[in-house]
Amino acid sequence: MFLLKNSFHSYSVVAVFALSRQGECDHITRLTMPLGRRNAVKNLKFGLIGTGFMGNAHAIALRSVGTVFEDIPSPRLHCLVDANASNAAKLAKAWGFEESSDDWLAICNDPDIDVVDICTPNHLHKEMALAAIRAGKHVYCEKPLALTAKDARLIRDSAAKAGVVTAMGFNYMCNPLISKARQMIASGSIGDIYSFRGCYQEDYLADPSTPFGWRLLRKQGGAGALADLGTHLINMAEYLLGPMTAVLGSLTTVHDKRADPITGDLRDVENEDIAQVLVRFSRGCAGTMEISRVATGKKCGLEFDIFGSKGSLAFDQERMNEIRIYSNDDDPDERGFRTILAGPEHPDYAAFCPAPGHGLGINDLKVIEVRNLLRGILSGDPIYSDFANGCRVQEISDAIEASHQQGNWVDVSESTLDPNRKNQ
């Protein structure tokens, strides 16, 4: 065993590695290289675990990122992993991976792999992320980071200690118009913020005959709508407005039993369909969040209104290439919400398309997310969202559940939830 001490990150790094093969030595050299010199590392090799909805979205992004962002060396799609070996083999071929496997642990320990990309059901994130971190890999993980804040802190702290780069799958905040909204709020162009109204509503479980799945089991999904949809909204709200300080939550399960897809037997749904939350932010404004997986008719209803003293912003992910802006600076007889279409003036849009109003899609947001990760690894730029953000979101999600159980407000100030955070 070999002990390396380093301080090229803002935090100090202590990494213990077993040096047995040349590949591992190379890997350690890369991990401990000063960030400025990491530009030398090209074509990072990815091991992607999971071939479902998100596995496919990540594969598309990994293949596209070097075409869209020419300064980013295209990653190498080294190995595609799935518990279903024949699916892994078939899709590895179709998606352009060099190899396939059904053994995720071997991928974490493969000295050839630089980045482990986790797109599996929620309960597997902890074990997979910790194994990847132990092997010194950078880790890209779908939300939620873990099933509980306790586990999320363990993962975040392990990654920080190992000095690996991390990224979360909070893709919606990568929208060029969300960057624009954030800039407008930060520059004061809509004035002091009075209130936030956020929703993330979908209807994928509105039909009671939709069969049981892993998302409905506490041990596999964790929370329900909160884990699946609410995590995106919490992250979005803090990205735009800064930290929350307190939450008051109410959870409801509308359909408490569903049929098992194989046996047909009715099974208990173990988590909530709807979460309704009152929220306070440290900047002084109030807010509400409504999160639902049974909102009939809503397909990707991540929406917000932000009301300020000089104007307001309104966004709806179902119309993700539009943001609506109201300004008190307009002449009184011409005031009203104006719709701004996404275009090359907005951050990152021009890399995809030179023409305004032509529109980006959800997979383009994943391309931006992957670009952020690769840039973070190659040049040391901070990544939003990383595992610290993923952990913070999990802390707030847990606090909303605790608030529902206790029937009172729960303090989510960073200093209260995690007093050691400042020392890391």
Ligand X SMILES: NC(=O)c1ccc[n+]([C@@H]2O[C@H](COP(=O)([O-])OP(=O)(O)OC[C@H]3O[C@@H](n4cnc5c(N)ncnc54)[C@H](O)[C@@H]3O)[C@@H](O)[C@H]2O)c1
- Decide whether 142 or 280 has the Cβ nearer to ligand X: 142
Q: Write out the two tokens for 227.
A: 């884990």
Distance CA 54, CA 367 (A): 13
E strands of 82-174, at which residues? 99-101, 115-118, 138-141, 166-168
Distance CA 97, CA 247 (A): 44
Smallest separation, CB 324 to ligand X (Å): 23
- Decide whether 31 or 369 has the Cβ nearer to ligand X: 369
3-state SS, residue 308: strand
Smallest separation, CB 378 to ligand X (Å): 23
Smallest separation, CB 117 to ligand X (Å): 11
- Which contiguous run of DSSP H or E holds residue 399? helix 387-406
Cis before 144? omega within 30: yes
Smallest separation, CB 186 to ligand X (Å): 25
- Decide whether 83 or 254 has the Cβ nearer to ligand X: 83
- Decide whether 122 or 158 has the Cβ nearer to ligand X: 122
- Decide whether 228 or 273 has the Cβ nearer to ligand X: 228
> Is residue 81 within 8 Å of 108, Cβ to Cβ?
no
> Crossing angle for the helix pair 85-95 and 53-68, nearest 10 degrees?
20
277 Cα distance to chain centroid: 20
Distance CA 303, CA 199 (A): 5
Instruction: Give the residue nearest to ligand X (CB).
Output: 52
- Decide whether 380 or 390 has the Cβ nearer to ligand X: 390
- Decide whether 119 or 374 has the Cβ nearer to ligand X: 119
Smallest separation, CB 270 to ligand X (Å): 16
Smallest separation, CB 49 to ligand X (Å): 5
Smallest separation, CB 331 to ligand X (Å): 41
Q: What's the CA angle centered on 248, arms 324 and 255, to 5 degrees?
A: 85
- Decide whether 21 or 219 has the Cβ nearer to ligand X: 219
E strands of 149-300, at which residues? 166-168, 193-201, 244-252, 257-259, 266-268, 274-281, 286-292
Q: Write out the two tokens for 379.
A: 């040049």
Cβ partners under 8 Å of residue 31, min gap 6:
15, 136, 163, 164
| Edge-first strand listing for the sheet containing 99-101 | 99-101, 76-81, 45-49, 115-118, 138-141, 166-168
Smallest separation, CB 143 to ligand X (Å): 6
**Distances, alpha carbon 410 to alpha carbons 25, 304, 349, 407, 413, in Å:** 47, 23, 39, 9, 9
Smallest separation, CB 367 to ligand X (Å): 13
- Decide whether 53 or 337 has the Cβ nearer to ligand X: 53
Smallest separation, CB 69 to ligand X (Å): 20
**Distances, alpha carbon 33 to alpha carbons 45, 180, 325, 389, in Å:** 17, 34, 45, 25
Residues in the site for ligand X, rule: CB under 6 A? 49-55, 81-84, 104, 119-122, 124, 142-143, 169, 171, 228
- DSSP structure class, residue 170: -
Smallest separation, CB 183 to ligand X (Å): 23
- Which contiguous run of DSSP H or E holds residue 341? strand 338-341
- Decide whether 83 or 259 has the Cβ nearer to ligand X: 83
- Decide whether 69 or 200 has the Cβ nearer to ligand X: 200
